[in-house]
Amino acid sequence: MPVSRFDVDSWRRSPLSRRKIDTSAFATERAEVVEICSDVLARGDTALRELGARFDGWAPAAGETFAVDTRAALDQIDVADREALEFAAQRIRAFHSLQRQDEFVGSGDLGLVTRPVLRAGLYAPGGRASYPSTVLMTAIPARVAGVEQVVVATPPRSDGSVAPAILAAAHIAGVDTVYRIGGAQAIAALAYGTETIPRVDVVAGPGNIYVTLAKREVFGSVGVDGIAGPTEVVVLADADTRPDYVAADLAAQLEHDPLAWGVLVTDSGTLADRVEEELEHLVRGLDRSGIIREANCCIVVARDIEEAIDVVEEFAPEHLLVVTYAADRIGLSIRNAGAVFIGPYSTVPLGDYTAGPNHTLPTSGAARFGSPLGVHTFLKRTSVLALDREDLETLGDATVRLAELEGLGAHAHAVDVRRE
């Protein structure tokens, strides 16, 4: 199992410590995405049919639509799978219901009104595997926020079908319509609208490089939840941590993608040695061992736990697992992380599926300023000013002075004409 090992000084000098979402290496893909988005904007469904046939191997025949019914899907999956989806949905809904906000804050004449967007468009990947958990994690917060229309786009199979688990999750989460379109063309269709697909106000959900580049391309025409890089986990551990637990959590994240990140930060060289041994033994027996071996696995050995915490804050990981002494105190003190998992039993997969908090998180250092997907992703705010004559007199002189300072005479006049 290839593991890159560092002390803190060599880690900070390494470009690995400064990973970022770098799309400069994808100039060809970006040019293709720009062309796809422009084509969908110009030709709507006609472009979608041609692009679907080209990239997904399927396009709706005459009389067919991109939409697919979700109702029958619950009977097409195992009862145990349905129960697991419903269990996860209940917990996700309960947690996100805590995020509801007051519609109006402020005084009577100055306030901020918070309302949901009208339509949300969600993307559910369907490349290497289908992810019904992503449907739950995006659609349920949108519904809790009060979004009136929630739609999902997902790549179809070559026969036009969609994985029943995706459709079942959509039904459980209260999705209105599932559209059989994938890739950049799906993002463009949601952002711009076509003859049969409504233009949405927010696009959310992860995807491959084409989806990521398309979200960048359409941003401004539509809101997006964020630009996601490869998934990542940092484990902050000390000498008393079980090495097999650490190895298990690193492998669980690395199996997602050859570009994924798994980083152990510790103050114990002995633990570092034992985790490397456990990883090598574990990975040999895993189905996705090839992907894990290609991914970015690093160990950083710090002088003490305080220096290790500094490394974590600088890296700003998507997932952070804290398994140290005083884990509660340390975990709650971390400023830069998308989600913090505290203690040896808070393994990240529990958060991926059933704990309740969202698994769509800021990556590539965006946890320095970004937040998990949530109810707020589908809310927008409007400021309200209901001013009277007394307010005009109170604010007028300073307003006119500032307008004239900036050379905006018409602004000053709009105030003065009301005071004459």
263 by DSSP, 3-state: which? strand
What the block records as the tokens of 23 is 């799309």
Residue 417: strand pairing partners = none
- Residues across the chain: 420
DSSP 385-411: E---HHHHHHHHHHHHHHHHHTT-HHH
Sequence spans of domains, the chain: 4-21+229-355, 24-224, 388-419
**What does the pLDDT look like over 122-143, one tens digit per residue?**
999 975 578 999 999 999 999 9
Is CATH 3.40.462.20 the right assignment for the domain spanning 4-21+229-355? no
CB 288 within 8 A of CB 252: no
Where do the DSSP E strands lie in 13-148? 67-68, 104-106, 110-116, 119-123
pTM (2 decimals)? 0.94
Query: In angstroms, what CA-CA distances link 278 with 4, 271, 274, 301, 387?
Result: 15, 10, 6, 17, 67
Element (H, E) at 138: helix 132-145
The whole-angstrom distance between residue 104's C-alpha and the CA centroid of its chain comes to 27
Percent of the chain past pLDDT 90, that is, above it, reads: 93
Among 318, 390, 393, 406, which one carries the catalytic annotation? Answer: 318
* Whether 319 is catalytic: yes
Instruction: Please check whether the two domains, 4-21+229-355 and 24-224, share a CATH topology.
Output: yes
The secondary structure of residue 225, as a DSSP letter, is: S
Measured between alpha carbons, how far is 121 from 112 in angstroms, rounded to an integer? 25
The DSSP output letter for 200 is P
**Residue 256, strand partner residues:** none
Tens of pLDDT, residue by residue over 293-339, are 999 999 999 999 999 999 999 999 999 999 999 999 999 999 999 99
Residues whose CB falls within 8 Å of the CB of residue 119, separated by 6 or more in sequence, listed in order: 147, 148, 149, 150, 151, 198, 199, 200, 201, 202
Q: Give the span between the Cα atoms of 59 and 338, in whole angstroms.
A: 38
Of 96, 256, 319, 359, the catalytic one is 319
How is residue 97 annotated by DSSP? H
CATH H superfamily, domain 24-224? Nitrogenase molybdenum iron protein domain (3.40.50.1980)
Asked whether 19 and 365 are in contact (CB, 8 A), the reply is yes
Query: What's the confidence (pLDDT) of residue 127?
Result: 57
pLDDT block averages, 10 residues each, the chain of length 420: 96 90 81 98 97 95 92 94 98 97 91 97 83 97 98 95 96 98 98 97 95 96 94 97 98 95 98 97 96 97 98 98 98 98 98 98 96 98 96 97 98 96
Q: Return d(Cα 345, Cα 322) in angstroms, integer.
A: 10
Question: Cα 381–174–193 angle (5° rounding)?
Answer: 60
